[in-house]
């Protein structure tokens, strides 16, 4: 995410700075402990980066790459974590110039755990998988884009494909790729490269070395 800057003592001869939030992406569904990673492109070194969750001060980092961990089970409050939140990033360079951007995310707390007690996925009935992976899709029904939220607790070869209800392939989103443990957002652009996907029911099939599961998606048209 790239955002122009606002600062005090503006100097038109100085190229505008940019904040790049590499993780998490805007509108991502996040859970458990999230790594917030920020890069600042600026001609003058950045003195500090302050990160807020809504109005709550999460912390400060003064070393590149700027990173902080956010435990969504605790901050800002256990009583209202499951909703939309705004990550605000404030950066100050050595001239005192102030740069700011915001990233909206959606927090969901989870009840599904593996044998070691690690949180790995959403509570039923939203999660399509059992075991040590988590997968679900939103929005569903969808018109143009479907977001798949994938959670892995260990490295694995992963395949995620879309088929119609007769089992005919529609799109391969992940093709036997090695993926590390973590959270992933995979997007299916329903209509891409002039390939029109008709309205109807489709099935997303996830296959890893540990699991095989699927869920149904409804595509609607205006």
- 54/92 same-domain check: yes
CA dist 124 → 127, 128, 134, 135 (Å): 5, 8, 10, 11
What's the domain count of the chain? 2
pLDDT along the chain (222 residues), means of 10: 44 67 81 85 90 92 92 66 81 89 76 46 54 76 86 87 87 92 87 80 86 84 76
Position 2 scores a pLDDT of 35
Coil vs helix vs strand at 81 = coil
Position 81 scores a pLDDT of 55
Domain holding 54, by residue range, is 2-107
Distance CA 119, CA 46 (A): 35
- 40/26 same-domain check: yes
Position 179 scores a pLDDT of 92
- 58/142 same-domain check: no
CATH number of the domain enclosing 132: 2.60.40.1930
Domain end among 58, 83, 107: 107
- 7/100 same-domain check: yes
């Amino acid at each position: 995410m790239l955002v122009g800057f606002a600062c005090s003592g503006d100097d038109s001869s100085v190229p505008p700075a940019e904040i790049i939030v590499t993780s998490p992406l805007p509108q991502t569904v996040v859970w458990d402990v999230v790594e917030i990673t920020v890069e600042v492109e600026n001609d003058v070194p950045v003195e500090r980066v302050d990160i807020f969750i809504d109005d709550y001060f999460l912390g400060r980092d003064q070393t590149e790459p700027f990173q902080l961990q956010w435990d969504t089970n605790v901050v800002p409050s256990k009583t209202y974590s499951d909703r939309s939140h705004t990550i605000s990033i404030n950066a100050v360079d050595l001239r005192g110039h102030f740069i700011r951007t915001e990233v909206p995310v959606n927090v969901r707390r989870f009840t599904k755990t593996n044998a070691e007690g690690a949180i790995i996925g959403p509570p039923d009935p939203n999660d399509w998988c059992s075991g040590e992976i988590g997968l679900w899709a939103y929005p569903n029904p969808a018109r143009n884009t479907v977001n798949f939220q994938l959670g892995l607790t260990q490295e694995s070869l992963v395949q995620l494909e879309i088929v119609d209800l007769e089992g005919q392939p529609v799109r391969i989103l992940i093709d036997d790729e090695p993926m590390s443990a973590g959270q992933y957002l995979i997007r299916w652009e329903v209509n891409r490269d002039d390939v029109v996907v008709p309205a109807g029911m489709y099935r997303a099939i996830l296959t890893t070395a540990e699991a095989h599961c699927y869920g149904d998606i409804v595509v609607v048209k205006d």
